[in-house]
């Protein structure tokens, strides 16, 4: 089974300022504010990297053990999915999406 590669869904307007992001969802008219850490993870959700890849990139950039980072990245990805900020991943089943 292929690994999840999170990708930001279309229809979102993202504005970054001072390391933080504000996201406007045109479909729901919802507004989301991301702190600097969430903004970094959100920016890496381009569909080309797995959660493990994203965690490794952040780990190397900030000198933090990958094991510590991956749990936090998974939590953020779950929050992004719950807020419907990520595109559905057709290559994985419904259960796999909930496990991300």
Summarised one tens digit per residue, pLDDT across range 23-61 is: 999 999 999 999 999 999 999 999 999 999 999 999 999
Report d(CA 7, CA 20) in Å as an integer: 19
| CATH class of residue range 12-99 | mainly alpha
Count of C-beta atoms within a 10 Å radius of residue 54: 25
pLDDT tens digits for 74-97? 999 999 999 999 998 744 444 444
| pLDDT at residue number 95 | 43
3-state secondary structure of 70: helix
Bridge partners, residue 33, by sequence: 22
């Amino acid at each position: 089974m292929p690994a999840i590669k999170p990708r930001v869904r279309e229809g979102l307007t993202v504005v970054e300022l001072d390391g933080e992001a504000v996201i406007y969802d045109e479909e729901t008219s919802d507004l989301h504010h991301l702190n600097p850490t969430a903004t970094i993870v959100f920016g890496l959700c381009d569909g080309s990297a797995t959660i493990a890849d994203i965690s490794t990139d952040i780990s190397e950039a900030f000198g933090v053990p990958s094991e510590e980072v991956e749990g936090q990245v998974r939590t953020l990805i779950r929050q992004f999915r719950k807020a419907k900020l990520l595109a559905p991943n057709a290559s994985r089943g419904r259960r796999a999406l909930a496990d991300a």
